Structure 1
Amino acid sequence: MGPKRFILEYWRLILLLVFVSVALVALFIPGGIMADDSYVDDESIDDNPTNLEYGLGLDGGTRISAPVVGMVAEDIETDATDEEEGSVDRERLTEIESALYEELDLDTGNASVDHDDSGNVHAEVFTDEVTEEEFAAVLSDETGHEVDPDDDVRDGVSDQTRAQMVDTIGSMINEAGLSGGDTYESEQVGGEHYVVTEVPDMDPDELRELLSDRGIVEVVAYYPDDDGQANQTVLEGDDIATVDPPEPSERGSGYDVPVEVDSNAAPDFQEDLNDLGFTDEGQQMCSLEPDGDTVDFDHSDEQYCLLTVVDGEPIDAHSMGPELGNNMNQGEWASDPSFQMGAQNQQQAQGLSVSLQAGAMPAPLDFSEEQTYSLSPALADQFKLYSLLIGGLSVLTVSGMVFLRYRDVRVATPMILTAMAEVVILLGFAALIRMPLDLSHVAGFIAVVGTGVDDLIIIADEVMDEGDVSSQRVFESRFRKAFWIIGAAAATTIIAMSPLAVMSLGDLQGFAIITILGVLIGVLITRPAYGDILQRLMTDK
C-alpha cells in the first residue's frame, strides 16, 4: 500500500493521532506551542509538571464581583454630531466634558463624554457625590437640549466603559504577574451589571486593594507664582508610550521608572516646563521630603518640583536635573523624549509601572455592593486531588462496564482509548489557550467521558446488532446509521448548552464550554476514528 492510499484509507485515525500529539506537546513541553511562554519558569515547572493553569477551585484565591460607580446619560442631543456627514466633533465633546469637571468640581478621571460606533453621544460621571439633577442640569446648559434626570439619566456606566474596565483590569492582572487571573462582565437578575475579577492565590484584602487603585498617573509641576506655590498637570499616563522596569534611583534613595513620552505629547510637555521655569532657574530647586507613602509639603522657600501623582496622591517629588533641563531648554529633548518618574520605594515603583502599562481604570468599583468568594490554597489542593481521584474512578468504572457489556477486547479497548484521547485533546486545548481550569471544568470533563462512551456504545451496538459484520459494505451502512443518531444527539446537546456558554452564569459557563468542546471533538474527530478502528478489527478488510 502506497503512502497516498494509506493516508486516504486511514485519514480519520491519522487526524486523531495528530490532535493527540499536538495536545501532548501543549500539555507537557514548557512553552511548547504557545504564543507566549514568558510566564514559564523553573519554579512553575517544579510546582506543576504540565502547562495547565488552574482557577480558584483548584488553586485557591479570590473572586470579587462589584458594580461600577457612576451614572450615565445616553443618546444625548448635542451640536457635536453631524447627522448628514455621520461625523462627531471631538473638540466639542471635550468642551462638554470640561464643563462637567468645572461645574461639578470633579477630580481627574471622574467624567467622560464620548460616542459609540453609531455616533450616539453619552456622558458619564464616575462618582457618587453628584446627584442626577446636578448632572442633568450641567448637560442641559452645555448642550442646549433638555436632559431629564428621571428619564435620561440612569445609575451605572455605558457598555463601552464597562468593556474598557474589563480590558484594563485584565491588563493590570497580567502586568502584575498574576498568572491564571481572569476578568469578565456578569449581568445580575434585575439587569445590574457587575465586573468580576478572579485571581488565584490571593486573599480578598490583597485583591480589593489592587482593584481600589484606579492607576490614574500624572506628572504635576509644583512651582512658585504670585500667590505662593501653584500646581499644574503637565503630563498624563495616556501620554506615556513605553515603560521600562523600575530600578534603584541614582539620587541615592527611592526608585525610578524609566519612561518614554509619546511623540505627540512630548513637545507640549517640553514647552510647559520651559514656560514654568523648570529648565533654567528651577533646576535642582526641589527639597521636598518623603512622609510615609506621600510627600511632605512643609517648606518656606520656593520649590520647583516634578510630582509623581497616582490617584490624586503625590508619591514622590524630584528636581529637574541639569542634563534634562538643558536639553529641554534648547528644544532638543522632544526628539528623544525619555525621562524617569520617581517613587519612594520598590512597591510604589512597581505599582506605578503596572499602572502606566495597563492604563487607568475609567471608573472605580463599588465595593459596598461587592460579592466575594475566597478559597484557601490548602483546600484547593485537596479539591485538585479529589478531582484526579474522581476522574480516575470514572474511567475505571466506565471501562469495567464496557468490558462487562461486550466481553470483546476488540470492541472495548479501542472504545476506552478513544474516549481517553478525547480528554487528552481537551486538556491540550485548555493548556494551549491558557484556560484556568476549575471544578466546573472538571465536571465537564467527567460529562464528556460519559457522553463520549455513550456515543461509542451506540456505534458498537448498531454495528454488531444484526450479527456478522465481516463485510465492509454492511459495516459502513450500519456505521452511517449510528453516526446520524449520535450527530443528532450532539446537535441537541450543543443547542441546550449554548445559552449557558455565552451567558455570564459563573461556574455553569465553564461546564457548558467544556461539554460543547467535547461534543464537537467527539463528532468531528474521535467518533469517526473509532469507526475506522472498529472496521479494521471487525471486517475482512
Structure 2
Amino acid sequence: STAEEVVGKPGKFEIRIQVGPNETRHVVYGDAVQSVELPRGDQSGMWGVPFTLSEEGALTFQRIAKEVGATRNPKAHEVSMYLDKDEIFSAPLAPELASALDKAPMRSLVAEVGAGDAGSRKAKELYIHLREGALPVNVKIIGSGQVDAALGSQFKFQVALAGILAILAVGLLVFYRYRERRIVLPIVCTSFSEVILMLGVWSAAGWQLDLASIAGIIMVIGTGVDHLFIITDELLHGERVTERNEQEAKGVLLTGKIYLARLSRAFYIILGAAATTIAAMIPLLWMGFGALMGFALITIIGVLIGVGIARPAYGRIIGYILGEVA
C-alpha cells in the first residue's frame, strides 16, 4: 500500500523566481519540461543537469525573468526548483544566460549544482527529481504484485540447480528422440550459448533483468530447441529417405549439395517461425509498458541471435557430425 501510494502520486514540479526577500513568483510547472539529459561535468569540474523547456515554457520563463528584473540583476533574483513544495535547487541565472534571455527565449538550460564528488551526487539527485517532475501525464496504477525476497546464497544454489536439471532434461530428450549420443552435446551447447549471448546483450545495454525477461529467455530456449530439432530431422530424415535402408544409410556421407539442400529446407521453416514470433512481439514492444516491453524485447533479441548466429553454427556442426562433405 505504501508503494502504491508513492508510485501513484506523481511529484508536482515547479520553477519559481525570487522577487523579494521572502517572496517568489511562479514560472512554470513540470509539464513545461520536455526532456532531461544525463548529468555532465565541464572542464572546470562543475556538474550540471541539462534540460529542455517547451516553446511555451521558454517564452513564459523569459517574460517573467524580464518582468522581475532577473535578466538585469540575476544575483538578486534566484531561480528555484520545487518538488512537492520541497526546494531541490536554487541558484541565480548565469550572466551569459541572463544577457541572452534579455533578447530571446532560451529552451535549452543547464542547472549547475557544484563541483567534485558532492556536485556529482547532487546532479544525479536533481536529474531524478527533474525526470520525476517532468512526467507528461498522471500515473494510473493498473495492477500490482509481490515477489518474495530470497537469501542470496540459497537463490544462487537454486538457480544453478535448475540450470543443471534443465540441461540434463534437454539432453535426455534429445537422446531419447535420436538415440545418437553425438547429437546431444551440440544441441545442449547451442542452447546454452544462446542464453549467454542474450544475457550479454542485455547486460551491455544496462537493462534490468526481471521475471518477465527471464520468462522471455525460457521461451526463446524452448523455440530454439524446436528449431534445432527441425534442422536435425531434415538432415536425418533426408538421409534415410534417399537410401534403401537405414543400415546402409549409416555409412553414407552427406555430399555438400544434399547437405545444403536439406539445410535450406530447414531454414525456410525456421525463418518463417522466427518472423511469426517477431511479428507477435512487435505490438507488445510498441504498445506495451514495463514488464511486457522487457518480455517482448528479449524475445526478439533471442530470436535474432538464434537465427543469425546459433542456427547456422549448429547447422555446420551437425553437418560435420553426420559426415557432410564441404
TM-score over 0.5 for the pair: yes
1:480 correspondence with 2:264: yes
Distance in 1, matches of 2:5 and 2:221, equals 38
> Which amino acid in 1 is paired with 2:230?
I
Residues 463 and 469 of structure 1 are in contact (CA less than 8 Å); yes or no, is this contact kept in structure 2?
A: no
- Distance in 1 (CA, whole Å) between partners of 2:4 and 2:309 is 46
**Which of these residues, 349, 372, 392, is aligned with residue 164 of structure 2?**
392
Q: Residue 216 of structure 1 contacts residue 355 of structure 1 at CA under 8 Å; is this kept in 2?
A: no
CA 1:383–1:516: 2 relative to 1, 3 Å: farther
Which residue is 1:197 aligned to? none
1:453 maps to 225
Counterpart pick for 1:491 among 269, 275, 278:
275
**Aligned with 1:216: secondary structure?**
strand
Task: Show the counterpart of 2:298.
Answer: 514
Separation in 1 of the partners of 2:214 and 2:129? 37
Change (3 A) 1:366 1:447: closer
| TM-score of the pair, normalised by structure 2 | 0.63
Letter matched to residue 401 of structure 1: L
**Map of 1:93-492 to 2, 5 A cutoff?**
204=3, 207-208=6-7, 212-222=10-20, 231-233=24-26, 269=65, 272-273=68-69, 308=80, 310-311=82-83, 313=85, 315=87, 334=99, 353-354=126-127, 357-358=130-131, 360-361=133-134, 365=138, 371-378=143-150, 386-465=158-237, 466=240, 467=249, 468-492=252-276
Q: What is the CA–CA distance in structure 2 between the aligned matches of 1:391 and 1:524, rounded to whole Å?
A: 24
Contact residue 81 and residue 87 of structure 2 kept, 8 A = yes
- The C-alpha deviation readout for 1:284-324, integer Å capped at 9, x for no partner, is xxxxxxxxxxxxxxxxxxxxx8584515737499999xxx9
Alpha-carbon RMSD: 5.1
The Cα of 1:359 is off from its aligned counterpart by 7.6
User: Structure 1 vs Structure 2: percent identity of aligned residues?
Assistant: 29
Counterparts of 1:515 and 1:260, CA distance in 2: 34
Listed as ranges, the gaps of 5+ residues in structure 1 are: 1-63, 65-202, 224-228, 246-256, 284-304
**How far does the alpha carbon of each residue in 1:106-165 deviate from its partner, in whole angstroms, 9 at most, with x for none?**
xxxxxxxxxxxxxxxxxxxxxxxxxxxxxxxxxxxxxxxxxxxxxxxxxxxxxxxxxxxx
The structure in which a higher percent of residues are strand is 1
Relative to structure 1, the CA distance from residue 311 to residue 428 in structure 2 (aligned partners, 3 Å threshold; closer, same or farther) is closer
**Match among 301, 308, 314 for residue 524 of structure 1:** 308
Residue 448 of structure 1 aligns with an amino acid whose one-letter code is: V
Structure 1 residue ranges (4+ consecutive) displaced by more than 6 angstroms after TM superposition? 234-245, 257-268, 274-279, 316-320, 335-342, 349-352, 379-384
Aligned to 1:539: 324
Residues 414-456 of structure 1 deviation map (CA, whole Å, 9 limit, x = unaligned): 2222222222211111112222112222222222222212221
Change (3 A) 1:401 1:459: same
Note the C-alpha offset of 1:514: 3.0
For 2:304, give the aligned amino acid. Answer: L
Shift of 1:398: 0.3
Which deviations, in whole Å up to 9, do the C-alpha atoms of 1:68-123 show, x marking residues without a partner? xxxxxxxxxxxxxxxxxxxxxxxxxxxxxxxxxxxxxxxxxxxxxxxxxxxxxxxx
Whole-angstrom distance in 2 between the partners of 1:495 and 1:420: 25
Quick one: structure 1 residues 522 and 275, their matched pair in 2 at CA, closer, same or farther if it must change by over 3 Å? closer
Contact in 2 for aligned 1:222/1:307 (Cα 8 Å): no
Task: State the distance in 1 between where 2:221 and 2:181 align.
Answer: 19
What's the CA shift string for 1:156-207, capped at 9, x where partnerless? xxxxxxxxxxxxxxxxxxxxxxxxxxxxxxxxxxxxxxxxxxxxxxx71794
User: Match for residue 246 of structure 2?
Assistant: none
More helix by percentage:
2
Q: Go from structure 1 to structure 2 and tell me whether the alpha carbon gap of 1:382 and 1:492 turns closer, same or farther (over 3 Å shift).
A: farther
Code of the aligned partner of 1:219: I
Q: Which protein, 1 or 2, shows the higher relative CO under an 8 Å CA cutoff with sep ≥ 6?
A: 1
Amino acid paired to 2:236: M
Q: Distance in 2 between matches of 1:332 and 1:500?
A: 44
Q: What is the distance in 2 between the residues matched to 1:449 and 1:521?
A: 11
Structure 2 counterpart of 1:126: none
Structure 2 distance, partners of 1:487, 1:526, is 13
